Amino acid sequence: MPLVLAFALAVVSGLLLGLGGYGAWGAAFIVLALGHALWRVAPHPFMSGKPARAVAFALALVGASACWWGDATVRRDAACAARVRRAHAWVAQLDADSATVGAFVQARLRVGDCEAKAALLIASGAAAPGALVVASGAAQEAERGLQVREAHLGVTIGQDAWAAMRFRAGAQIDTIFGDDAPMARALLVADMRGLAGDVRMRWADAGIVHMLSISGLHVAILGEAIVLLLGALRVGPRTRFGATAVLLGAYILMLGCPPPAVRSGVMLAAVGVGQLLQRPTSPWAPLALGALVPVALDVRTVSDLGWQLSVGGMASLIATGALAPRVIPQSWRGWKRTLAREALTSVVATAVTAPLVACQIGRLSLIAPLTNLAAAPIMGVTQPALFLALAFSWAKPVGRLFASSAHPLLAALDRVAMVGAAVPGGSVAVTPGDAVAVLASLAAIAAVVACVSRWPARPALLALVALAGCVWWPSPKGAHLPGTSGSGGLELHVIDVGQGDALALRTPGGHWVVMDAGREWPGGDAGARTVVPYLKRQGAERVALFVLSHAHADHVGGAAAVLAQLGADEIWDGAWVGPTPGYRRMLSAARARRIGWHRVHPGDTRVIDSVEFTVLAPDSAWVMAQQDANEASVVVRVRYGAVTMLLTGDAEGGEESWLRDHADTALHADVLKVGHHGSRTSTTPALLEAVNPRLAVISVGRINRYGHPNPGTLSALARAGVRVLRTDQTGTVVVRTDGRQLMVRTGDETFSVP
C-alpha cells in the first residue's frame, strides 16, 4: 500500500467523521485505533526503512486533524447559512438555464465572505444563464439548505463564463437531440435536472445509475478518444499528452468541475506523467492523488455520491486487476478470458459501489452485475457518439446525424435499465441513515480488501455481513420512503411525462385516481415507460378511477398500458371520439379487462375516502358542436376538506367561457392544473379571476416545439400572484394536503404554500 494511499484514507476517514458531526469523538477514535493497530506492525507496511511507529502516529495525527477540519467546516457552514438567512438581499450565482418567473432554480447566495446554497422560486425578474445577479426575498430553512419562496431578481452584475458556456452547450443539445436531450444533457454536461425522477429510480433499481452522471468513466472515454485521434494523426507523445490535458481540462471546467470528473482528470494526468517519465507507479497512488485533489478544493466533496462512486469504481477496477489472475484459469484465452474478466469486473464494481448508492438513494440493486455487463459496452460506444454530436452541433445537419446515431444506443441503455428494474427481487429497499452509511462504507472497503488480500475469507465475510446489515437495518419509527404518503392526506402527483399530461391522485385511504397517461411514439408510450413504473413505486396495485380528459395522443397515448397493467374500476370519458390509435387501444384494453366505461356529464360525482371528484364540463351538447378535442376536455374539480383542485385537461378559451357561464361558482380552487400546457389559448383572465388559485402547475415538455408555456400566460399568472411550478423545470410535482394546508415536493425540495 503506497504511503499516499494511507494518507488519503486517513484524510477521508477524518473528514467523514467530522462532517458527520462526530468531531471530537472521531478524532479520539482515529488516534487510538490507528495508533494501537500500527504500533504493533513490523516491519513498516508502507515504506521500508522508515520507523513504523512514527508513520503510524503521523497518520493518526492527519486523521485527527481532518476530523477537526470537517467539524470546523460544519460549524462555519451553519454560521454562514444563518447569516445568509437573516439577510434579505444577496449576490446570487444562478445555476439555471431558464431563470424566469415561476422557475425553481438552484443558486449560491453570498453575503460578504459567506456563501450558502439555496433554492429560489422566482417571483419577478429574469437572468441570463450563469449570471451573477442581485436577488432579494426572505430565506427560510428547508430540508436541504435554504429556500427563498418569493425571490426577486434585480440587476445583473457579472457572469460565470464557464457556466454560460455549459448552458449554451445545453441549449445546443436540446436543439439537436430532441426527445433524447434530457439524457444527453446528463451524459455530456452533467445536467440531470431534465431527467424524470422515474428514469433515475429505474436506473438505480437496475444498478446502473452511476452511468447517468458525468463520472470518471465518461472523462476517461473522452481522453482515450482524443489520444487515439491524435495518435492516428501521428502526433508525438509529449504533444499528445499536452493537447489531451488541455482539452480535458477545458471540458472539466465547462462542466463546473464536478468531483468525479476532476478525480478522473487528475488521475489520467498522473498516469500520463508517469508514462512520459517512464516511472512505473502503483495504480493506487494515482487513485489516491485523484481522490485528494477534489477534496482539497472542497472538503465537503467526501460526502458527494458522485465522488464516492467515482473513487469506489476505480478502486474496484484496480482490485479486479489483482483478483483476476487468481480466479480466472490461465488456460482461458481470447473471448472466454475477456468475457470472464468483464464479468468479474462487473461483480466487483457492484460489490463496491452498490452499498454506496444504497445508503444515499435507499435502493440496493442485486441485479447490477448483469445489467452493468450489458450496459458497459453500449456506453463505450454511446459516449463518443454524444461527444461528436456536441462537437459538431454548430453544423446542425452533421450534429443531428451523430445525435440520430446515438438514439438507438440511448434507447438500448434505457431498455437495459427497464429490464433490470423489472426483475422480481432485483432490488431491495434500504433505510438511509448514519448507521446504514457506516455499514455501506464498511462493505465497500471490505470488498476491495478481499479482492487484493492473500487471505480474502475474513474481509469477504465482513463485506457480506455489512451488506446484510444495510438491508436488515430497520426504518426509524414513523419514517417512510421518499415520495410515499406519510399520514393519509390527499396527494396530487403531476408526473413528468414530457410534452403531455399524466396526473395521479392518491386518496387518504390509498386509492388511486389517474387522469391522462402521457404521449405515445413509435415503439413506446409514456404509460408503460413512466406512469406505470411511477405508480408501482408509490405502491399502487390498481386504479380506482381513470379519467381521460380528451383523445389527443399526448394525453391518451399511455392509457392502454396503464389499464392493461394496473386495471381500473371505471373509466370517465367525455366521448369526443378521436381517430387516434391511442384512443382505440385504450378502449380495447378496457374491454379486455372488463372495465366499465362512463360518458361523463356536468355534475357527475364520485366520493372516494372523503375526496369528492365532480365533473364540471363538458356537456353532450357542447361536445357535439366542437371541432377540436381540446375544447371538449373533461374538467374535474377535486375537493378534500377545505382544499379544492381544478384539473382542466387542455381546455381552451371557448370551454373556459362555457365554464364561466355554467359553473362559475364552482370554479374557485386552491390548485389549478393549467390548461393546454400553458398555451396562449388557455387560462384566460376571466377564468383566472374565477379560479383565483394559490398554486398553478404546468405539465409541459422541456424545449418543446410548441413554445409552451406561453410568456403571456406566465405573466398573467405572475400578475395574479399565483405561485407557478413547471414539470420541465422541476420534474414531477407532488402537492399534498390534509384538507387545510398545502405542501409541495419537487425533487429534493419541500415547501408549504401559504
Nine-digit cell string for 134: 442581485
Taking 60 as the threshold, does the pLDDT of residue 486 lie above it?
A: no
Is 158 exposed, middle or buried (CB count within 10 Å of its CB: 0-12, 13-18, 19+)?
Answer: exposed
- Residues 694 and 240: their CA atoms lie apart, in Å, by 59
433, 474 Cβ separation under 8 angstroms: no
CB neighbour list of residue 674: distance below 8 Å, 6 or more residues apart: 648, 682, 683, 696, 697, 698, 699, 709, 713, 717, 724
pLDDT of residue 690 exceeding 60, the answer is yes
Helix (H) or strand (E) holding 646: strand 643-647
Residue 20: what pLDDT?
75
From the DSSP assignment, how many helices (H) and strands (E) are in the chain?
Answer: 26, 26
Indicate whether 754 belongs to any domain: no
Given a cut of 60, whether residue 479 has pLDDT beyond it is no
Residue 25's pLDDT is what?
A: 58
The confidence score (pLDDT) of residue 475 equals 52
Confidence of residue 29 (pLDDT cuts 50, 70, 90): low
| 49 — pLDDT class (breaks 50, 70, 90) | very low
481 within a domain of the structure (yes/no)? no
Q: Which residue has the higher pLDDT, 33 or 289?
A: 289
pLDDT at 480 over 50: no
pLDDT (tens digit per residue) in 72-95: 888 888 888 889 888 989 998 887
Q: Is residue 474 in a domain?
A: no
CB contact at 8 A, 427 and 362: no
Say which DSSP state 376 is in: H
Percent above pLDDT 90 for the chain:
23
- Give the mean pLDDT of 97-123: 81
- Does residue 393 sit in the same domain as residue 418? yes
Residues 425-463 have pLDDT tens digits of: 887 777 666 677 777 778 888 888 888 888 888 888 888
Residue 120 shares a structural domain with residue 187: no
**Lowest pLDDT segment from 136-150, 423-437, 702-716:** 423-437
Of 105, 137, 159, the last residue of a domain is: 159
Q: Is the pLDDT of residue 556 over 90?
A: yes
Q: pLDDT at position 37, please?
A: 54
Grid cell, residue 523, equals 415503439
Does residue 484 form part of some domain?
A: no
Q: Is the same domain home to 576 and 690?
A: yes
Domain total in the chain: 4
> Does 740 lie in the same domain as 619?
yes
Domain boundary among 57, 82, 107: 82
What is the helix (H) or strand (E) element at residue 750, kind and residue range? Answer: strand 749-753
Residue 47 has pLDDT above 50, yes or no: no
Q: What angle do CA 633, 742, 119 make, to 5 degrees?
A: 100
Question: Does residue 34 fall inside a structural domain?
Answer: yes
Phi, psi angles (nearest 5°) of residue 107:
-155, 165
In a domain, 478, yes or no: no
Do 295 and 428 share a structural domain?
yes
Q: What is the mean pLDDT of residues 141-155?
A: 79
CA–CA separation, 416 and 411 (whole Å): 9
Residue given cell 484514507 in the structure block = 9
Q: Are residues 116 and 201 in the same domain?
A: no
Model confidence at 733, pLDDT cuts 50, 70, 90, reads: very high
- DSSP code per residue over 397-425: HHHHHHHHHHHHHHHHHHHHHHHHHHSTT
Cβ neighbours around 588 below 10 Å, total:
13
| Domain boundary pick from 64, 82, 100 | 82
Query: What distances in angstroms separate CA 389 from CA 72, 180, 188, one per listed residue?
Result: 45, 12, 10
* Predicted confidence (pLDDT) at residue 356 exceeds the cutoff of 60: yes
Which grid cell sits at 598? 362512463
Question: Looking at residue 634, what DSSP letter applies?
Answer: -
3-state DSSP: the chain helix, strand, coil percent, rounded to 5? Answer: 55, 20, 30
DSSP state for residue 531 in the 8-state scheme: I
Here the cell at position 648 is 382542466
Residues of the domain holding 528:
490-749
572 three-class SS: strand
Owner of C-alpha cell 355554467: 662
**Whole-angstrom Cα distance, residue 281 to residue 270?**
10
Highest mean pLDDT out of 2-16, 41-55, 111-125, 597-611: 597-611
Residue 112, sorted as left (phi over 0), alpha (psi -120 to 50) or beta, turns out to be: left
What pLDDT, in 10s, does the model give residues 709-727?
Answer: 988 898 888 888 888 888 8
Mean pLDDT of 139-144: 73
Task: Identify residue 315 by its one-letter amino acid code.
Answer: A
Q: For residue 332, is it within any domain?
A: yes
Average pLDDT of the chain, as a whole number: 82
Q: What is the band of 102 on the pLDDT scale with cuts at 50, 70, 90?
A: low
Which of the pair, 62 or 646, is modelled with greater confidence?
A: 646
Per-residue pLDDT band at 33 (split at 50, 70, 90): low
Among 76-90, 323-337, 427-441, 592-606, whose mean pLDDT is lowest? 427-441
| Lowest model confidence (mean pLDDT) among 204-208, 288-292, 432-436 | 432-436
pLDDT at 564 over 90: yes
Residue of higher predicted confidence among 292 and 750: 292
What is the arithmetic mean of pLDDT over 283-294?
Answer: 83
Q: Using one digit for the tens of pLDDT, what is the confidence trace for 238-250? A: 888 888 888 888 8
pLDDT reading at 614 higher than 60? yes
Q: Work out the average pLDDT over 382-390.
A: 85
Distance in angstroms (rounded) separating the CA atoms of residues 741 and 236: 68
Contact between 736 and 745 under an 8 Å Cβ cutoff? The reply is: yes
Q: Locate cell 477521508: which residue? A: 12
Are residues 72 and 126 part of one domain? no
Question: What CATH code is carried by the domain that includes residue 698?
Answer: 3.60.15.10
CB proximity list for 401: less than 8 A, separation 6 or greater: none
> Has residue 502 got a pLDDT over 80?
yes
Element (H, E) at 436: helix 434-452
- Residue 95's closest CA among 170, 37, 17? 170
Q: What pLDDT band is residue 566 in, cutting at 50, 70 and 90?
A: very high
pLDDT at 329: 84
pLDDT for the residue numbered 42: 44
Provide the pLDDT for residue 72.
87
Please say if the pLDDT value at position 474 is more than 50: yes
Cell 383523445 appears where? 551
Report yes or no: 132 and 158 within 8 Å, Cβ to Cβ: yes
Same domain membership, residue 17 and residue 117: no
Determine contact, residues 423/371, Cβ cutoff 8 Å.
no
Question: Is the domain of 331 the same as that of 216?
Answer: yes
Q: Could you give the CA distance from residue 444 to residue 464 in angstroms, rounded to a whole number?
A: 10
Percent of the chain with pLDDT over 70: 89
Say yes or no to pLDDT of 521 above 90: no
**Looking at the structure, do residues 98 and 74 belong to the same domain, yes or no?**
no
How would residue 39 be classed by pLDDT, with cut points 50, 70 and 90?
low
Give residue 325's pLDDT.
Answer: 85
Q: Are 135 and 123 in contact (CB under 8 A)?
A: no
pLDDT in tens, 248-273: 888 877 777 777 777 777 877 877 77
Q: Which is nearest to 123 in space by CA: 722, 749, 732?
A: 722
Instruction: Decide if pLDDT at 38 tops 70.
Output: no
**Would you say residue 498 has pLDDT above 50?**
yes
Q: What does the alpha-carbon distance between residue 544 and residue 260 come to, in Å, rounded to a whole number?
A: 45
Average of per-residue pLDDT across 647-671: 90
Alpha-carbon distance of 492 to 505, in angstroms, equals 5
Residues 558 and 679 in one domain: yes
Dist. CA 180–CA 169, nearest whole Å: 15
**The pLDDT of residue 482 is above 50:** no
In the chain, the amino acid numbered 687 is L
Instruction: Identify whether residues 96 and 72 lie together within a single domain.
Output: no
406 within some domain = yes
Q: Which residue has the higher pLDDT, 567 or 277?
A: 567
